[in-house]
Amino acid sequence: MGTFRAAWRLLLVVKLTALAYLAVLAGSLATLALPRRRARWRHLCFRWWSRCLLAVMGAQVESHGPAPEPPFFLVTNHLSYIDVLVLASRVDAVFIAKSDVAGWPVIGSLCRSVGTLFVDRRLNRDLPRVLDSIDRTLANGQGVALFPEGTSTGGEEVARFHPSLLEVPAQTRYPVSYASLGYATADGGAPAHLAVCWWGDMELPGHLWNLLHLPGFRATVSFGDERIQDADRKRLAARLWRAVDGLFTPVVSRTPESA
């Protein structure tokens, strides 16, 4: 039963992703001379795709607190590739992602088509380009979502935030919104920190296949009720980390060996 369910879900994921990609392309051509309408269409397609995929996976999303309205700069902790679906199902945002994602089959093409900002954190010379893109995205009235931990984790704690991509809101004193993400699976099933969180040396194809085997899972996104400003990016990163950490509920408790 589990293998049949996973195979059927995978087929639906591929079909829905292809349909969303075609819809984005068609809408982009129809609104070529209308940048704001084109951006709106992309967000609508991305939200529809995210909600459909979450439904296919049996995910139940619980949202707490006021979600920000565009334009906004949003930061949150990072646990899995599922984070993007959860956030996109609740807010209209351009996501900042690692450059590796651009090369993912199918998903990479869709992410590029909806305006995802890719950054190679290994190359310092890539930062000015990304910072300029963030500035223009906010100026165009769109939301920006960033995972400042720089990589996904197993959900024991919120890793320290990297301040480099917070340069734009720091320089402009732009108020930054924040949120916390978490996951849970049913008792007796595969634990969320292994089945939903994607971290360490986990291989993407195998992890996704196992995720699709799950009967379902619960995702929680908690939005902070304030926005944080600071002219110093390192101070801003520290303040945002404390705010997100205050909302965060560990996906898995620390074990004596890892404490």
Does pLDDT of 149 surpass 90? yes
pLDDT tens readout for residues 187-226: 888 999 999 999 999 999 999 999 999 999 999 999 999 9
Average predicted confidence (pLDDT) for the chain: 90
Asked whether residue 252 is domain-assigned, the answer is no
pLDDT of residue 135: 94
pLDDT of residue 251: 96
pLDDT tens readout for residues 111-145: 877 888 988 866 677 788 899 999 999 999 999 99
pLDDT tens readout for residues 83-94: 999 999 999 999
Which CATH number does the domain housing residue 98 bear? 3.40.1130
Percent of the chain with pLDDT over 90: 73
Asked whether residue 165 is domain-assigned, the answer is yes
Residue corresponding to tokens 């001379």: 33
Does pLDDT of 158 surpass 80? yes
Could you tell me the strand order of the sheet in which 59-64 lies?
59-64, 217-223, 176-184, 72-76, 143-146, 93-98, 117-119
Residue 257 — very low, low, confident or very high, per pLDDT cuts 50/70/90?
A: very low
Q: Is-contact 78 38, C-beta < 8 A? A: no
Asked whether residue 237 is domain-assigned, the answer is yes
Does pLDDT of 37 surpass 50? yes
pLDDT of residue 106: 65
pLDDT of residue 32: 65
Does pLDDT of 45 surpass 70? yes
Domain count of the fold of the chain: 1
pLDDT tens readout for residues 46-64: 999 999 999 999 999 999 9
pLDDT of residue 145: 96
Asked whether residue 99 is domain-assigned, the answer is yes
Helix (H) or strand (E) holding 252: none
pLDDT of residue 254: 56
CA distance 182 to 24: 29
Does pLDDT of 159 surpass 90? yes
Residue corresponding to tokens 């110093």: 232
Asked whether residue 256 is domain-assigned, the answer is no
3-state SS of 93-159 is: EEEEEEHHHHHCCCHHHHHHHCCCEEECCCCHHHHHHHHHHHHHHHHCCCEEEECCCCCCCCCCCCC
Identify which of 177, 197, 170, 167 has the alpha carbon closest to the alpha carbon of residue 185. 197
Asked whether residue 159 is domain-assigned, the answer is yes
pLDDT of residue 244: 98
pLDDT of residue 121: 67
Q: Is-contact 89 61, C-beta < 8 A? A: yes
pLDDT tens readout for residues 233-251: 999 999 999 999 999 999 9
Does pLDDT of 103 surpass 80? no
Supply the range of the domain harboring residue 11. 2-247
CA distance 16 to 254: 37
Asked whether residue 211 is domain-assigned, the answer is yes
Asked whether residue 37 is domain-assigned, the answer is yes
